[in-house]
Amino acid sequence: MIKTYIEINERIKSGNVIVVNAEEMIKIVEDSGIKIAAEEIDVVTTGTFGSMCSSGAF
């Protein structure tokens, strides 16, 4: 199953998007396998923000 940016953006707008962080995704893949995880999850967040992060400088 391939999801396009358009499909994911439509799910975001409708409020039916499934978002998890990277740690949650690891557990989902371990429990369900990569194929099911890819089908069920729409967005995986991986970003950080901190004083040592380059974005923290701004």
The DSSP annotation for 37-56 comes to HHHH--EEE-----TTSGGG
Query: How many domains in the chain?
Result: 1
| Residue 53 belongs to some domain of the structure | no
Which pLDDT value is given to residue 2? Answer: 84
Residue 47, phi then psi, degrees to nearest 5: -75, 155
| Residue 10 belongs to some domain of the structure | yes
| Residue 25 belongs to some domain of the structure | yes
Q: Residue 29: in which H helix or E strand, if any?
A: helix 22-32
Q: Are 43 and 17 in contact (CB under 8 A)?
A: yes
Overall pTM surpassing 0.85 (yes/no): no
Strand partners, 44: 20
* pLDDT string in tens for the chain (58-residue length): 788 999 999 999 999 999 999 999 999 999 999 999 999 999 999 876 665 555 555 5
